[in-house]
Structure 1
Amino acid sequence: MTAPSDLGTARPGSPGLLRSVFRKHAAGVAVITARGDRGPVGFTATSLASVSADPPMLSFGVATGGSTWPAIAAGDHVGVHLLGEHQRELAATFARSGADRFGAATAWRDGPEGVPLLDDVLAWTVCRVVARVPAGDHRIVVAEVLLGDPAGAGRPLLYHQGRFTGLRE
Structure 2
Amino acid sequence: MHAPEITDVDAQIDAIQHASAPSLPTDDFKAIFRGHPGGVTVISADAGYGPVALTASSVASVSAEPPLLVFSISALSSASDVLSRAATVIVHFLDVHDVDVAKLGATGGIDRFAQAQSWTRLGTGEPVFDNVRAWVRCAVVDRMQAGTSTIVVARALTSHIERDAQPGDPGDALVYHNRAWHRLGEHSRLEG
Structure-1-length-normalised TM-score: 0.87
Counterpart-to-counterpart distance in 2, 1:106 and 1:28: 26
Contact 2:98/2:133 (CA < 8 Å) preserved in 1?
no
Question: 1:55 aligns to what?
Answer: 66
Question: 1:159 aligns to what?
Answer: 176
Counterpart-to-counterpart distance in 1, 2:132 and 2:92: 6
| CA gap 1:62/1:70 in 2 versus in 1, 3 angstroms | same
For residue 39 of structure 1, give the secondary structure of its aligned residue in structure 2.
coil
For residue 148 of structure 1, give the secondary structure of its aligned residue in structure 2.
strand
* RMSD (Å) for aligned C-alpha atoms: 1.9
Higher Rg = 2
- Structure 1 residue 84 corresponds to structure 2 residue 101: no
Contact 1:42/1:68 (CA < 8 Å) preserved in 2?
yes
The partner residue of 2:38 within 1, 19, 27 is 27
Residue by residue over 1:14-40, the C-alpha shift from the partner in whole angstroms, topping out at 9 and shown as x without a partner, is 222121111111111000000043311
Contact 1:77/1:113 (CA < 8 Å) preserved in 2?
no
* 1:96 maps to amino acid: T
Structure 2 unaligned regions, length at least 5: 1-22, 165-170, 188-192
| CA gap 1:72/1:117 in 2 versus in 1, 3 angstroms | same
- Structure 1 residue 125 corresponds to structure 2 residue 136: yes
For residue 22 of structure 1, give the secondary structure of its aligned residue in structure 2.
helix
Contact 2:131/2:162 (CA < 8 Å) preserved in 1?
no
Contact 1:29/1:46 (CA < 8 Å) preserved in 2?
yes
Question: 1:6 aligns to what?
Answer: none
Contact 2:84/2:150 (CA < 8 Å) preserved in 1?
no
Counterpart-to-counterpart distance in 1, 2:100 and 2:145: 30
Residue by residue over 1:44-92, the C-alpha shift from the partner in whole angstroms, topping out at 9 and shown as x without a partner, is 0000000111110001010123211111222100000011102222211
Cα deviation, residue 100, structure 1: 2.0
Greater strand share, 1 or 2? 1
Cα deviation, residue 118, structure 1: 1.0
Structure 1 unaligned regions, length at least 5: 1-11
Runs of 4+ residues over 6 Å off in structure 1: none
For residue 51 of structure 2, give the secondary structure of its aligned residue in structure 1.
strand
* 2:136 maps to amino acid: T
Structure-2-length-normalised TM-score: 0.77
Counterpart-to-counterpart distance in 2, 1:106 and 1:50: 31
* 1:75 maps to amino acid: A
Deviates more, 1:149-158 or 1:132-141: 149-158
